[in-house]
Amino acid sequence: MIRLSAWTVRTAMVYLGAGFLIGALMLAQKGVPLDPLMLRMLPMHVEFVLIGWTLQLGMGVAFWILPRFSAEPRYGNQRFGWMAYILLNVGVLSTGVGQWLNAPPLIPLLGRSAELLAVVFFALHAWPRVKPAGA
C-alpha cells in the first residue's frame, strides 16, 4: 500500500471512530437526556460519516488498487492525490465543525468548495488509471 493510500485510509478510520462517537452521544441523549446541545452535532456526524469516512475510504482504496502503469510513475500523478487528500480533510473539518459551532455560513461554504476541488483533483489522479490491463 502506498503512503498516500495508508494516510487516506487511516484518516478515514479516524473519522469513522469520531463519527461513531458523535452518533453514540446523540443516540444516548435520545434515551437518557444529558445535554440537548448534543443533538446539534447531527450535521457534523453526517459530514464525518459520509464524507470523512465513506468517501475518503473509497478514495484511499482507489489510490491503492486502481491499475498501475507499466512505467514510472506507476501510480500516476500522486501530487493530485495528495491535493485531494488535503482539500477533502480541510473541507470535512470546515463544514462539519463549522456547522456544529454555528460558524458564519461562509465557513461551510468554503468547506464544500474544498470538497468539490478535492473531488476534481481525485478525478485528475484516477482518470488515467481507469484503463485496460497492460495499457
Partner 1 sequence: MPPLTRYFIKTALIYLATALLVGLALAARAAFDLPAEIAALSPVFFHLFMVGWVTQLIFGMLFWMLPKYSKELPRGNEKLAWAAYCLINVGLILRVIGEPLVALRPDLGVGWLLALSASLQLLGGWAFIGNAWPRVKER
Between 21 and 123, whose beta carbon lies closer to partner 1?
Answer: 21
Grid coordinates representing 49 are: 460519516
CA atoms within 13 A on the CB side of 13: 7
Q: Which residue has the cell 488498487?
A: 65
Is residue 39 a contact point for partner 1 (CB under 8 A)?
no
Restricting to residues 63-102, which ones interact with partner 1 according to CB under 8 A? none
Between 21 and 109, whose beta carbon lies closer to partner 1?
Answer: 21
DSSP string of 53-69, one letter each residue: IIIHHHHHHHHHHSPPP
Query: Backbone dihedral region of 134: left (phi > 0), alpha (psi from -120 to 50 degrees) or beta?
Result: left
Count, residues near partner 1 per rule CB under 8 A:
23
Number of H helices, E strands in the chain: 5, 0
- The distance of closest approach from Cβ of residue 30 to partner 1 in the complex, given in angstroms and rounded to an integer, is 5
Restricting to residues 104-123, which ones interact with partner 1 according to CB under 8 A? none
Please report, as ranges, the residues that interact with partner 1 according to CB under 8 A.
1-3, 6, 9-10, 13, 16-17, 20-21, 23-25, 27-28, 30-33, 49, 54, 57
